[in-house]
Structure 1
Amino acid sequence: MSDAEQLKEFLREMNMTPEDACEMDMFSEYCFDGLSYQLRYLLCTLYGITFLLAFIGNSIIIYIIAFNRRMRTITNILVASLAVADMLIACLCIPFAVAEIISYNWIFGTIGCKLASSLTAFAMAASILTLICIAGDRYQVICHPHQDRKIKTSCHALGYLAIVWIFATLLTVPLFIFSDIKKISGLLEHTFCRETWSQFYNKTYTICFTLILYIIPFLLLFVLYSKVVGQLWQLKETFSGGNSGGISSVPPSNVRKKKRAIKVLILIVLVFIFSWLPFHVHSFLRFMSKSKINDKSLFFNFTVKLIGFTSTFVNPILYGLMNTNLKRYIMVGINCRKIKKQSAPSTKEELMMLPPEI
C-alpha cells in the first residue's frame, strides 16, 4: 500500500475527507491543489485576450482574401493559409488550455486528449511551415525577379500548401497515438493530458520536433530575409528614369517604403524567435529533468504555450494588416464605401515600389 493510500485510510478512520485535510494544510506534501486562483484568473484572462485578438485579426484576413477575387494573389493565398493555421490554434488549442487551467483536470477523455495534443502540434506546424513558404516566395520574387517563379499560379500555391498541411499532419501522428490521460496519485487525484511514451522516444521526438519546427525554420527565415533586406537596399529608382545608383537617388516615399519593409522583415524573424523559443526550451528541460507535474511545472507549461500563441495575433498584423491593399479593403469596410477599381501593379512595380507583400 502506498503512502497516499495509507493516509486515505487514516483519514477515513478520523472521519475526514482528503479535501478537508488539504484545505487545513494537513499533509500538504500529498496534496496537489493546482495553480492559485489568482494565477488561474491571470492566465485565463491573457488566454482570452489572445483568443479574441487572434480570432478578429485572422478572420479579417481570411474574409478579405476569400471574398475578393482581386486579392487572391499568390502571396495572399499563402498569407490566408497562415491565417487559417493561426485560427486553428486560437479556436482549438486555446479553449483546451483554458479548460485545463480552470479545472486543473483533463475533462475531455482519452480521445479528447489525443485530439488536443495532435491538433495543437498540427496547427503549430502548419503555421510555421507556411512562414517558410512565404519567405521563400518573397526571396525569389525580390532577389531573383528574372527567374521563373517556383509558385507561378494560385494552383501551384495551393499545391505547395497541400504538401505543407500533409507534412504537418504526419509530424503530429505520434502525438495522437501516444497521448493519454495521466493521473497524479495523492490525497486528491488529478488527471492531465500528457505523452505516455518512453524517455527515449520522448527525447527523440522532442529533438526532431524542435529541429523541424524551430531551428531549421529560424535559419531559413534568417538567411532568406537577410538576403531580401540586402536586396532592398540595393534597389535603384527606375520609374523617374534616374540612372544614378545608391539609396540617395530614390525618392523619399520609396525610401520610407523600403525602411518599413525592412522593419517588417526584422520583426517577422524576431517574433518567430521570441514567441516559440520558451516553448522549445521548456520542452527540452522537461524531458531532461524528468520533473513531476506540480504547481511550478504547470505554470511554466501554460505560460510558454501562451507566449507561443501570441504569434497568432501578431502574424496577421505583420503579414496582412501591413499590406497596403489589405489595409485599403479594411478601411473601405469600416467606412462602408465601395472600393474603386485600380489596375494591379506589374511585377516590376511590385518589386520597386515594394508594397508589403513581402
Structure 2
Amino acid sequence: MSGITGNLDCEECFSSAHVANSTDVHSAVDEDDELLRYIWREYLHPKQYEWVLIVAYIIVFFVSLIGNSLVCFAVWKNRHMRTVTNYFIVNLSLADVLVTIICLPASLVVDITETWFFGKTLCKVVPYLQTISVSVSVLTLSCIAQDRWYAICHPLMFKSTAKRARKSIVVIWVVSCIIMIPQAIVMECSSLLPELTNKTRLFTVCDEHWGAEIYPKVYHTCFFIVTYFAPLCLMVLAYIQICHKLWCQQIPGSTSVLQRKWRSIQCSAPTAGQGESVRVQTSTVCAEIKQVRARRKTARMLMVVLFVFALCYLPISVLNVMKRVFGTFKKINDRETVYAWFTFSHWLIYANSAANPIIYNFLSGKFREEFKSAFSCHCYGQDPNRTTRIRKRTSTDSRKSLSTQVNNVDNLSRISDHIV
C-alpha cells in the first residue's frame, strides 16, 4: 500500500508572520497561505464521492472487526468446530483483523487527504503489514484448497490433522514476514512540495524508493505472480477437480452408487438372518450420504470465498502492475479518475475482509448458529440451555435433511425395512 500523506499545522504556517515586520516577508506569507488554501480546496478537502467512501470505510471497519472476531470466537468456544479447514479460516480471520485495525484507518486518511500523517516509522510498518496480510491470505487459501484436494481427490495420499494445520499456519506467517521485508526497506517519506517543507507537512508522500528503474519492475512482477496469479490458477484447478469428484464422478455417496448398493443389499438378503447385516450397510450408506453432502457444502463455501478474494484483489493487482511495471500513469491527463480508481481498489481490499464472515454466515450452518448464539447471549444475557437447544435443533435439521436425501435415493430406508 502506498499513498500521499501530510498535515496542515496552522501555527507552523503562520509563525513567521508573528515575528516578521518586513513587507516582503508578509507578502511571502500571504502567498504561502493562499497556496495552502488552494491545495486544501482542490486536493485535500473530501469530494462528494469521497464522503461516500468514508461511510463505506466505516461500515467495512466495523463489519470486518466484529465478524472476524466472531469467527475466531466460535471456533475457540466450540471444540467440535476445531477442524483443519476451520483452523485455516481462523488464520484468515486473524489476518483480516490485523489489516483492519492497523492498515484501514491509515489507508482511509491517505486516500482522502493525499497526505501521510503518521511519520517515517509507520511509513515502513503499515505497508509491510499490509503486504504480510495479503501473503497470509493467499497462502492460507492455498492451504485450504490443498487440504480439500487431498481429502476428496486423493484421500489415501495424505492424512490431514489439526497438528499439521497449526504447523502450516506458523510456516505461513514466518514465510510471509520474510518475503515481504523488501517492502519495508524501500518505503520512505518525501515531500512533493519541498519549498513548503518548513511551513507544512502537506503532500508528504509515503512511497517506494528504488535504486534503479529495473528493481520495481522485477519486484512487482514477481509480487503479482507469487501473491495473486499463480496461487489463483492452482486453486482454480484444484477446485475444478474437487467439483468433478463431488458432483460428477461416481464416488462413494453419489446417487447411482448408492442405488447399486441398495440393489445389492436387496438381492443378497433373502433371509431374516441377515437383517443385522442390512442394518449395518444401511447405516454405512447413510453416513456416506451425510459426508458427501457436508463436503459439497464446504466446497461451495470455500469456492465463494476464493471467488470474492480474486474479485476484490483484481483491481489493485492490475493497477499496481500498470503503475509500477509499465509506468502507465506517469503522463496521464485525467489524474482525478486514476486516483478514484486507486481509492476504490484500496477499499475493495478491506471489503474482502468484511465479506468473509458474511459468506460463512450464509453458507455454513454451524457458523450461522454460533453467530446467532453470540448475539443472543450478548443482547439477552447468557442462557445455559441455549447451547443445548441449538445443538438439538441442528441435530434435528440434520436428521430431517438426511431423511430427505435417503428418500430421494430410491426410498432407501423403506427398502431396508422391507428387506429386514
- C-alpha separation in 1, matches of 2:355 and 2:56: 15
In structure 1, the residue matched to 2:229 is: 215
Matched, 1:129 2:139: yes
Contact 1:118 1:172 in 2 (8 A): yes
Note the C-alpha offset of 1:89. 1.5
Q: Which amino acid aligns with 2:122?
A: G
TM-score by length of 1: 0.79
Note the C-alpha offset of 1:211. 0.6
Q: 1:272 aligns with which of 309, 313, 332?
A: 309
In structure 1, the residue matched to 2:177 is: 169
Matched, 1:184 2:197: no
Matched, 1:242 2:258: yes
Which has the higher mean CA deviation after the structures are superposed, 59-68 or 328-337?
328-337
Contact 2:44 2:112 in 1 (8 A): no
Q: Does the residue aligned with 1:310 lie in a helix, a strand or coil? A: helix
In structure 1, the residue matched to 2:327 is: 289
Matched, 1:338 2:348: no
Contact 2:103 2:130 in 1 (8 A): yes
Specify whether residues 243 and 115 from structure 1 end up closer, same or farther in structure 2 by C-alpha distance, changes over 3 A only: same
In structure 2, the residue matched to 1:3 is: none
Note the C-alpha offset of 1:317. 3.1
- C-alpha separation in 2, matches of 1:263 and 1:68: 23
Q: Does the residue aligned with 1:289 lie in a helix, a strand or coil? A: coil
Note the C-alpha offset of 1:101. 3.3
Q: Does the residue aligned with 2:353 lie in a helix, a strand or coil? A: helix
- C-alpha separation in 1, matches of 2:346 and 2:32: 32
| Residue correspondences, number | 328
TM-score by length of 2: 0.68
- C-alpha separation in 2, matches of 1:258 and 1:160: 22
In structure 2, the residue matched to 1:5 is: none
Per-residue CA deviations over 1:200-229 (Å, capped at 9, x if unaligned) read 111111011101110011111101111111
Specify whether residues 334 and 192 from structure 1 end up closer, same or farther in structure 2 by C-alpha distance, changes over 3 A only: same
Q: Which amino acid aligns with 1:46?
A: A
Q: 2:69 aligns with which of 59, 65, 71?
A: 59
Specify whether residues 141 and 256 from structure 1 end up closer, same or farther in structure 2 by C-alpha distance, changes over 3 A only: closer
In structure 2, the residue matched to 1:315 is: 356
Specify whether residues 160 and 241 from structure 1 end up closer, same or farther in structure 2 by C-alpha distance, changes over 3 A only: same
Per-residue CA deviations over 1:46-88 (Å, capped at 9, x if unaligned) read 1111111111210110011122222222211111101101111
Specify whether residues 208 and 261 from structure 1 end up closer, same or farther in structure 2 by C-alpha distance, changes over 3 A only: same
Q: Does the residue aligned with 1:181 lie in a helix, a strand or coil? A: strand
Q: Which amino acid aligns with 2:387?
A: I
Note the C-alpha offset of 1:272. 2.4
Note the C-alpha offset of 1:37. 3.0
Note the C-alpha offset of 1:174. 0.6
In structure 2, the residue matched to 1:118 is: 128
Per-residue CA deviations over 1:117-161 (Å, capped at 9, x if unaligned) read 101111111111101111111111122233331x32x22111111
Note the C-alpha offset of 1:254. 9.3
In structure 2, the residue matched to 1:4 is: none
- C-alpha separation in 2, matches of 1:267 and 1:280: 20
Note the C-alpha offset of 1:256. 8.0
Q: 2:83 aligns with which of 70, 73, 83?
A: 73
- C-alpha separation in 1, matches of 2:172 and 2:253: 37
Q: Which runs of 5+ in 2 are unaligned?
A: 1-23, 197-201, 262-284, 377-382, 396-401, 404-420
Matched, 1:203 2:217: yes
- C-alpha separation in 2, matches of 1:118 and 1:109: 15
Specify whether residues 90 and 199 from structure 1 end up closer, same or farther in structure 2 by C-alpha distance, changes over 3 A only: same
What is the aligned-residue RMSD (CA, Å)? 3.7
Which structure has the highest helix share of the two?
2
Matched, 1:224 2:238: yes
Q: Which amino acid aligns with 1:225?
A: Y
Q: 1:88 aligns with which of 87, 90, 98?
A: 98
- C-alpha separation in 2, matches of 1:324 and 1:16: 65
Q: Does the residue aligned with 2:43 lie in a helix, a strand or coil? A: coil
Note the C-alpha offset of 1:191. 0.7
Specify whether residues 144 and 259 from structure 1 end up closer, same or farther in structure 2 by C-alpha distance, changes over 3 A only: closer
Q: Which has the larger radius of gyration?
A: 2
Note the C-alpha offset of 1:33. 2.1
Contact 1:225 1:265 in 2 (8 A): no
Contact 1:321 1:327 in 2 (8 A): yes
Contact 1:218 1:272 in 2 (8 A): no
Q: Which runs of 5+ in 1 are unaligned?
A: 1-9, 346-351, 354-358
In structure 2, the residue matched to 1:106 is: 116
- C-alpha separation in 2, matches of 1:328 and 1:102: 39
Which has the higher mean CA deviation after the structures are superposed, 227-236 or 202-211?
227-236
Matched, 1:194 2:207: yes
Contact 1:58 1:87 in 2 (8 A): yes
Contact 1:64 1:326 in 2 (8 A): yes
Which has the higher mean CA deviation after the structures are superposed, 257-266 or 277-286?
257-266
Note the C-alpha offset of 1:20. 1.8
Note the C-alpha offset of 1:295. 4.3
